Amino acid sequence: MTSQKTTPPNKQVAQSVENLGVLEPSSNATPEDREVIPRKRKRQPRRARRSCCQQVLEILKDLPGVEKKHLHKPKVSSKVKLSHLCDTLPTKDAITPQILHLLRRYVEKQESGNEFEKEMFVYLKGLDPKILDALRLGLKVFDEIPISQQHCLFREGFLSWSLEKPVDIDTLAKTWIDEAMILGRDFLYAQATCEAGKVRPWEREFPRIDLPSRMVVAPWPWINSVNGLRTHSHRQPLDNYLPEEYKQDCTFTLDEDTQEVKAQCKIATFPNCEDGAGPAHRDLCLRVPEARAGQVANLVGFNFVSENCKVELVHFENPDIKYLLEGTVCGDAATPIHQPDGTVIADHRVTDHLSFHIPDKTPDGLSEFVPGIYIVKVVAPNNINYILTDGSKPKEFASNTAYLKILPSQSLSYRIWVDKGHCYNETDGEWFSDEIYLKAIPVTLNAVGATPSWLELPAQESWTWSDADEGETLTNWDWRIIGEPGAPLSFEGLLAIGLIGYEVDDEDALKEQVKSFGDAYLLYLKKVWEVIVGTGSAGIVIGALKMVAFFTAALIAGIVIAVILIVGIFWAAWAPADRILFDVIILSEEELFFLTDPKTPLSATSTRKLGSDNDVTLSVIPESKLNYLYVEERRYGSAAEGSEYGLWFVYKRDV
């Protein structure tokens, strides 16, 4: 195979790239030195009209004597799919060109140019010939992507490398991490970049003893939620909190016939709140959010107006124990400062994020972090030079107080699997059974600042649902995603599970090629990441970041999304398979603990849009909780395909 030669884009191509709203560096720095840059804006994807063939099929399907199983929906062309991705991706991909350049150098029998390439060439040489053939086929598909779409999907600086240029591991690690951060932030917070929150002056009341309260207008920071639980001073009038936000008092009994432990729970009432410190709402106790020493916590509120905001922790029972911790801010860029009538928006509608790392040692490093309930406060320095009405300029602004219960470090073990599926709606235009191909990609981030690990998957890393008819429920699944019976997963930190699903027709001639390429490419990506991790290159890049809650969650989400995105680009270029499902499940130790905690009530049903194009609608429907086992349905609807499928996830804590 000859090497691909990329010529500079002509004016028409350059204009089309400019019209896509892509920000590119204007400096003379080399592509390796430039940062991964998010797109300036994301356009709405082009709406594809129904083809004449599809309209004919709609007519034919109702004619007597026509066998529906022989009718096929016309597949969306690869050109349309790739254009759709160009419209919606939050950033150009810089990972694919580099790892394919590495593959191309091996295929073209180039000498390894460094230790990284040497190790990867040995790996490629030892691959099963069928896997290597699948990778070669993927390289061919990449080369056949039109040049204009290559320049839209991928960073141009990495498309023009000569065959003789080796792949540098440090450059690859940096671009991978940078790209993952953009993708993760876009997925979690719908914004690819972060900055301080907007300045929102509002009138705050300060009670005084034996004197009238003092009202002061300033950009006072405010905490509305801690680790997903709304505070007792949440700035929005609340008649009631959600069931899972109340503290439960439970009694447990053993059923002698079934040997099952049953819980009888009721909401705790004042003064029986958490250790005398827990807040209450109308005499009903609210849950105190929990976290573990050595892990991270996330605050949501408004007026986190400085990137140098700090978090003050004061032990409730022993105020002499206090910490002033660095925080990382990701301000709400979408919510305007003012309402149409000019009133400042300073309430729950604003979602500034501030996350911080809870130390596992005392500042002198000699003792373990003291667990217990802490009073939490945000302190924002006045580096915006805000002046009060009396002419004074405060040094800083302090928020309201919230509560956080910090537990000792602890590792528990879990299994996660899917045991049931239901087809609510088949894909549009299909009058025969769908075949659904599902794939899971788990990743862990074991500690703040540590390098992410790509988990070894159980036997069933993928799952095929053949003949999925509308209205059909498929039971007795055993799609093992995390852990095996008798061998649950123990981890510390964050767990991310990427899920991707495609509808592949039984009659597609390329079905097996598509599957084999996806499997081969994931193996290849996994090996590249393992070598990066083994050399410490990723750790150096990650160590340069402020690795606190916001960044760790964004990083682990982004790593998974980057892998799904890369495979998705190739499947779009291939054209035979249609994506109907996309998801990233991100769980911390604490979240898994509470999901499987029998004392914690089921959460309410939630719905959100997924994918850079917002095509997939995900509804999470909690179903049941028994002992240390929690079941939820995750229902996926695809607007483009007109499909809707439900998968029942089971989370089990090993006790």
- Whether 568 is covered by a domain: the verdict is no
Nearest to 430 by CA among 152, 642, 116: 642
Q: Do 140 and 258 lie in a common domain? A: no
Note whether 238 and 313 are same-domain residues. yes
Q: How far is CA 109 from CA 1, 105, 141, 281, 336, in A?
A: 10, 6, 20, 70, 57
pLDDT at 458 (0 to 100): 57
Of the residues 195, 224, 259, the one at which a domain ends: 195
> Does residue 587 form part of some domain?
no
Q: Which residue has the higher pLDDT, 432 or 283?
A: 283
pLDDT of residue 572: 74
Residues 209 and 103 in one domain: no
In a domain, 44, yes or no: yes
| Nearest CA-CA partner of 200 in 311, 310, 349 | 349
Q: Are 209 and 326 in a shared domain?
A: yes
pLDDT tens-digit series, residues 86-120 = 777 788 899 999 999 999 999 999 999 999 999 99
Who has greater pLDDT, 415 or 76?
415
Query: Within this chain, do residues 116 and 47 fall inside the same structural domain, yes or no?
Result: yes
pLDDT at residue 48 in the model: 45
Mean pLDDT of 408-416: 79
The answer on pLDDT for 71 being more than 60 is: no
Residue 189 binned pLDDT confidence (cut-offs 50, 70, 90): confident
Same domain, 190 and 209: no
How many CA atoms, within 13 angstroms, populate the side-chain half-sphere of residue 150? 20
Residue with the larger pLDDT of the pair 346 and 444: 346
645 within a domain of the structure (yes/no): no
What percentage of residues in the chain have a pLDDT greater than 70?
78
More confident call, 136 vs 542: 136
Q: How do residues 524-533 score in pLDDT, each as one tens digit?
A: 888 888 888 7
- Examine the domain organization and report whether 16 and 130 are in the same domain: yes
Q: What does the pLDDT look like over 268-313, one tens digit per residue?
A: 888 878 766 678 888 889 999 988 887 788 999 999 999 999 999 9
Q: Residue 221 falls within a domain, yes or no?
A: yes
Domain residues for the domain of 110 are 1-195
Q: Are 499 and 187 in contact (CB under 8 A)?
A: no
For residue 208, what are the contacts with CB-CB under 8 A and spacing of at least 6?
Answer: 214
Span between the terminal Cα atoms of the chain, in Å: 55
- Is the same domain home to 190 and 206? no
Q: Please report, as a single letter, which amino acid is at residue 383.
A: N
Highest mean pLDDT among 283-292, 356-365, 382-391: 382-391
Q: Residue 329's beta-bridge partner residues?
A: 354
- Using the structure block, give the residue that is written with the tokens 């499902």: 581
Decide if pLDDT at 419 tops 70. yes
Q: Is 22 exposed, middle or buried (0-12, 13-18, 19+ CB in 10 A)?
A: buried
Residue where a domain stops, chosen among 384, 407, 430: 407
Looking at 350, 381, 407, which one is the last position of a domain? 407
What's the full length of the chain, in residues? 655
Domain presence at residue 30: yes
Q: What is the pLDDT of residue 99?
A: 93
Q: Across residues 176-204, what is the average pLDDT?
A: 86
The reply to whether 155 and 113 lie within a common domain is yes
181 plus 208 within the same structural domain: no
pTM of the model: 0.70
**Residue 318 belongs to some domain of the structure:** yes
| Structural domain count of the chain | 2
Residues 240 and 163 in one domain: no
Rounded Cα gap, residues 180 and 174, in angstroms:
10
Q: Domain for residue 366, yes or no?
A: yes
If asked whether residues 381 and 302 sit together in one domain, one would say: yes
Q: For residue 480, what are the CA distances in angstroms to 132, 455, 459, 477, 650?
A: 27, 13, 7, 9, 10
